[in-house]
């Protein structure tokens, strides 16, 4: 689908908004997202299902800003949540509770009650003890809980080990070899309706073959469960495709992936669900930062910027690559090889290492690209750094979607 940012006369834009203006007005570091980019990706998912009954549940954890959620709620997206806090956010943003699915391996009693009382669509349940807890809480509230068991299909997603989730050795889901027994034993539960199956084998998959393989295993499971008399109505395949972070990365097509899975689901009387997070928002956003200093230690060049690992932890946590480009491009400046680092007191605080990039100087603005997913949501106050502002662009307009935190915000609730 291409990136959301582009140069016009050597100045970086998101839609029709020049990013130097945002940085001047809002300050740095600052996340900026394009609503058009998010919506066009959502529409690509939606359109590609064709006639196949489907539901797209945006994975809130990728970017849970209220304005982003509101944008998606307005066009009819469902939501995949993994905590009570995410449920609160989704409802605040105007989500239809009946469009929400609740995933996660460690739901608490309070979270389950909150979800039951809110009338969410379904729980994606990850163990028998969780199933028993849902049954007892639903009984007490006199409700019926719709449940899909999360199956671990034992497929290798071939992605970073921290975001690979579909192998037997992982904590997620119920082993595909054991799940039929769980469905069978759950027939006696009076307040749980086991209507679906779900899985999620990992994130940032640049090759969709493991997803298709996982779907084949899940379809075979659906047939076996139905043959055993269980009224399975939906299959949830989990997260969406990966996104290219650096030049040369493959660019999985949302359309091709959805067309392939829709083809497999055709004529099976099955509601097909997906829970894309990253692929809706990653390429819609950048993190703006200002260069503070340049320095050289021995043979190494450092570009010290005002964004740090507390703002964007992906490079430190996953050795992730984010392109870093100047907001104002000037070819005459040339290029350097440098580490781009933040002010945090950790050697692990880097945004790029040994990176060939534009020769930016103190005072210059840079954009850290493809930062719309797992960016702000993973940020922290480490080193007592107030968290960054977030901005949402629409056409030539932009609004502050989240104010920069103040020092007072830092100590709220402390004494």
Ligand X SMILES: *Cc1c(COP(=O)(O)O)cnc(C)c1O
Would you tell me which residues interact with ligand X (CB under 6 A)?
A: 59, 61-62, 80, 103, 200, 203, 238-240, 275-279
* 342/30 Cα distance (integer angstroms): 14
* 272/152 Cα distance (integer angstroms): 18
Whichever of 80 and 306 has its CB closer to ligand X, that residue is: 80
SS3 percent helix, strand, coil of the chain, rounded to 5, is 35, 25, 40
For 43-81, the DSSP string reads HHHHHHTTTS-EEEEEEGGG---HHHHHHHHHTT-EEEE
Active site residue 57: no
Whichever of 85 and 231 has its CB closer to ligand X, that residue is: 85
Minimum separation from the CB atom of position 373 to ligand X (A): 6
Q: Which residue's CB atom is positioned nearest to ligand X?
A: 239
Among residues 30, 199, 345, 369, the one annotated as catalytic is: 345
* 218/235 Cα distance (integer angstroms): 8
- H helical segments located in 107-233: 109-118, 128-140, 179-186, 209-227
Minimum separation from the CB atom of position 298 to ligand X (A): 39
CA distances from 55 to 45, 67, 85, 102, 258 (A): 10, 21, 22, 14, 12
Identify the H or E element spanning 12.
strand 11-14
Minimum separation from the CB atom of position 123 to ligand X (A): 12
Whichever of 150 and 385 has its CB closer to ligand X, that residue is: 150
Minimum separation from the CB atom of position 141 to ligand X (A): 25
Minimum separation from the CB atom of position 277 to ligand X (A): 3
Active-site residues: which are they? Answer: 345
């Amino acid at each position: 689908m291409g990136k959301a940012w582009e140069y016009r006369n050597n100045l970086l834009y998101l839609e029709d908004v020049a990013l130097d203006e945002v940085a001047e007005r809002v300050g740095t570091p600052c996340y900026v997202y394009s609503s058009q980019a998010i919506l066009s990706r959502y529409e690509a998912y939606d359109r590609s299902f064709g006639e196949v009954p489907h539901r797209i549940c945006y994975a809130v954890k990728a970017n849970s800003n209220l304005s982003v959620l509101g944008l998606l709620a307005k066009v009819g997206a469902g939501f995949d949540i993994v905590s009570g806090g995410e449920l609160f956010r989704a409802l605040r943003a105007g989500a239809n509770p009946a469009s929400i699915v609740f995933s996660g391996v460690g739901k608490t009693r309070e979270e389950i009650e909150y979800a039951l009382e809110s009338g969410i669509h379904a729980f994606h349940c990850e163990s028998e003890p969780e199933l028993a807890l849902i049954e007892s809480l639903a009984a007490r509230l006199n409700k019926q809980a719709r449940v899909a068991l999360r199956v671990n299909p034992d497929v290798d997603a071939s992605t970073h080990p921290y975001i690979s989730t579909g192998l037997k050795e992982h904590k997620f889901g119920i082993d595909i070899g054991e799940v039929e027994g769980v469905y069978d034993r759950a027939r006696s539960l009076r307040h749980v309706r086991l209507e679906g199956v779900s899985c999620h084998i990992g994130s940032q998959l640049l090759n969709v073959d493991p997803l298709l393989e996982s779907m084949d295993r899940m379809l075979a499971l659906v047939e076996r469960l139905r043959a055993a008399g269980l009224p399975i109505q939906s299959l949830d395949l989990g997260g969406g495709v990966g996104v290219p972070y650096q030049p040369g990365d493959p660019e999985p097509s949302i359309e091709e992936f959805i067309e392939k899975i829709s083809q497999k689901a055709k004529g099976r009387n099955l509601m097909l669900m997906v829970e894309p997070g990253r692929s809706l928002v990653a390429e819609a956003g950048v993190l703006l930062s200002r260069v503070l200093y340049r320095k050289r230690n021995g043979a190494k060049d450092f570009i010290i910027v005002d964004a740090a690992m507390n703002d964007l932890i992906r490079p430190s946590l996953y050795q992730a690559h984010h392109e870093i480009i100047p907001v104002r491009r000037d070819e005459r400046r040339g290029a350097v090889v440098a580490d781009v680092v933040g002010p945090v007191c950790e050697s692990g605080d880097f945004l790029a290492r040994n990176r060939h990039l534009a020769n930016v100087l103190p005072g210059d603005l840079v954009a850290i690209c493809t930062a719309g997913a797992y960016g702000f949501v993973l940020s922290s106050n480490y080193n007592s750094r107030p968290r960054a502002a977030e901005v949402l662009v629409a056409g030539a307009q932009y609004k502050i979607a989240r104010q920069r935190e103040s020092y007072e915000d830092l100590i709220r609730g402390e004494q």
